[in-house]
Amino acid sequence: MKTVSSTGFALFGASLIAISYGLARFAFGLFVPPIRAELDLTPEVIGIIGAVPLISFLLAMLVAPFAADRLGARNTAILSGGFGAVGLALISQSSGALSLGVGVFACGICTGLMMPALTAAMQVLVDRSVHGRVSSVMNAGTSVGIMVAVPAVLFMAGLWRYAYLFFALLAVIGVLATWFYIPSVSRVAPSNAAPPPPISALQWWRLFRLSLFAFVMGFVSAAYWIFAPDLVVTLGELPSAATGWLWLAVGLAGLGGAVVADLADRNNPPITQALMLMMLAASLALLAASPDQVVLAAFSGLVFGLAYMSLTGLYLMTGVRLLPGRLSMGPVLPFMAISLGQAAGSPIVGMLVNNLGYSDAFAIFSVIGILVALLSPLYPRNIEQGSDEEAGEDTGLQAAYDYQLQNEEGEPFTYDTKE
C-alpha cells in the first residue's frame, strides 16, 4: 500500500464516492428518457426499477460494517467497486426491464459498501483531528459524480450505452487504485478507550424521530431523482441533451450542502430541516410548473441539489452525534431510512405518473414534503444525552467525530503518544 496524506485520502475517497454514488446510483435518472424510449418501458416499470438499487443498497448497508471489520477496508472497497463495474456494464448491455434491473441492483450494492469501507480506512490513515473535514470532502464526491455524468448526456445524447461503458471503465480504474491506496485492515479501538455507553430510551426516541424525517425526505426526493429528466423531456418537450443542465445544477448546488449542514448543527437544526425540506418540495413544484423552460428547470435543480445534500449531511451529523462510540451504526440508520423512503417513493411516483400525469404526481409529492416540514419542531433539537433544552457546547461535524472515542469521563479520547 502506498502512503497517502490526509488531503490525498480525502480526494481519493471523494473520487470513489463520485463513482459509487454519483455514477452508479444517482446518474440513472439522467438517462431515463433515452433508456425508456429504447427499451419501451412505462413510467410504472421505471419506478419499480428505480427502487431496485435502493433495496440492494439497504441490504449492503446491513452487512457493510461486518464486511469492513472482517474483510478489511481494502477488500470491502474492492468488492464495492467490482459490483459497480459489473452493474454499470450490465446496464450498458441491457435489453429489457430484467437485465436493466439486475444491473442497477449490482450498482446499489456498490453504493452501500463503499462509504463504510472508506470510513474504516479513514480510521487508519487520517488523524482524528481532521476526520470531519475529510468526511465533508468525501461526501462532496456525490455531487462531483453527478456532474461527471453531465457531459455524457450533453455530447452523447442517445448514446447511453457508451456512456455506461465509460462509467464501468472508471469503476475498474477505481478498483485498481483502491488496491494501492486503501489499507488492508481497520484500526482496532485502543484498549484504554471507554466502551460506548448503552443506548438509552431517549436516544432510541430521537433516532426514531430522525429516521422518520429521513424516510420522508427520501420518499419525496425519489420523484426528482428518477423522473425529473423524463418530466422535462416528456412534458416540456425538451431534447434529452437539455437534461444535462438539470443534473449539472443539482451537482453544483450539492457541493454547498456540507457547509449548510455544518452551520445547521452550530445554530438550529430544526429550522434548517424545515427550510431545506420546504426547498426540496418547492423544487418539485417549480419543475412541474415550468418543464419547458430550461433556465427555470436548471434553477429547480439548484434548489433541489442544495436542499438534498444539506439534509443528508444534517441527518448524517445528527446520527453520528446521537450514538457516540457507534460510528458503524449512528450514520447508517438515517441513510437506511432515506433509502427506504426512496425505495417506497419510486414505484409510487411511477404509478401516479402513469395514471395522473407528471404534474399531478409531482404536486402530490411536493405537498407531502411541505406538510412534513411543518413538523420540524419534532426534529432532534439537541444531540447530547441530556434533555432537549440543554445546549451542547461542541458542534459541527468534527466535534461529532471527536466524541466517537471517549475516555472514562466521557471526554474525547486522546492518545498519550503519537502512533
pLDDT at 216: 96
Pairs from 71-74 (Cβ < 8 Å, separation ≥ 24) = 72/120, 72/183, 72/184, 72/185, 72/186, 73/117, 73/118, 73/120, 73/121, 73/124, 73/182, 73/183, 73/184, 73/185, 73/186, 74/1, 74/117, 74/121, 74/178, 74/179, 74/182, 74/183, 74/184
* Length in residues, the chain: 419
Computed from CA positions of residues 151, 157, 160, 166, in that sequence, does the dihedral angle turn out positive or negative? Answer: negative
Instruction: Provide mean pLDDT across the span 36-52.
Output: 92
Nearest in space to 35 (alpha carbons), one of 83, 97, 88: 97
Domains of the chain: residue spans and CATH? 1-187 (1.20.1250.20), 198-402 (1.20.1250.20)
What angle (nearest 5°) sits at the alpha carbon of residue 50, between those of residues 45 and 51? Answer: 105
Local structure of 236: helix, strand or coil: coil
Judged against a pLDDT cut of 90, whether residue 1 lies above it is answered with no
d(Cα 72, Cα 123) in Å, to the nearest integer?
A: 12
Judged against a pLDDT cut of 90, whether residue 20 lies above it is answered with yes
pLDDT band of 236, cuts 50, 70, 90: confident
d(Cα 20, Cα 112) in Å, to the nearest integer?
A: 9
pLDDT higher at 316 or 266:
316
Q: What's phi and psi for 372, nearest 5 deg? A: -70, -30
Half-sphere exposure of 316 (CA within 13 A, CB side): 22
Instruction: Provide mean pLDDT across the span 8-33.
Output: 90
d(Cα 37, Cα 117) in Å, to the nearest integer?
A: 37
d(Cα 172, Cα 227) in Å, to the nearest integer?
A: 28
Half-sphere exposure of 108 (CA within 13 A, CB side): 25
The identity of residue 51, as a single letter, is: A
Q: Are 131 and 398 in contact (CB under 8 A)?
A: yes
d(Cα 367, Cα 389) in Å, to the nearest integer?
A: 31
Judged against a pLDDT cut of 70, whether residue 407 lies above it is answered with no
CA 271, distance to chain mean position in Å, is 22
pLDDT band of 262, cuts 50, 70, 90: low
- Tens digit of each residue's pLDDT (9 = 90 or more) over 378-401: 998 654 434 444 444 455 555 555
pLDDT band of 183, cuts 50, 70, 90: confident
Contact partners, residue 270, CB within 8 Å, separation at least 6:
376, 377, 378, 379, 381
pLDDT band of 305, cuts 50, 70, 90: very high
pLDDT band of 418, cuts 50, 70, 90: very low
pLDDT at 416: 46
Instruction: Provide mean pLDDT across the span 133-148.
Output: 84
Phi/psi zone of residue 83: left (φ > 0), alpha (ψ -120 to 50 degrees), beta?
alpha
Q: Are 389 and 382 in contact (CB under 8 A)?
A: yes
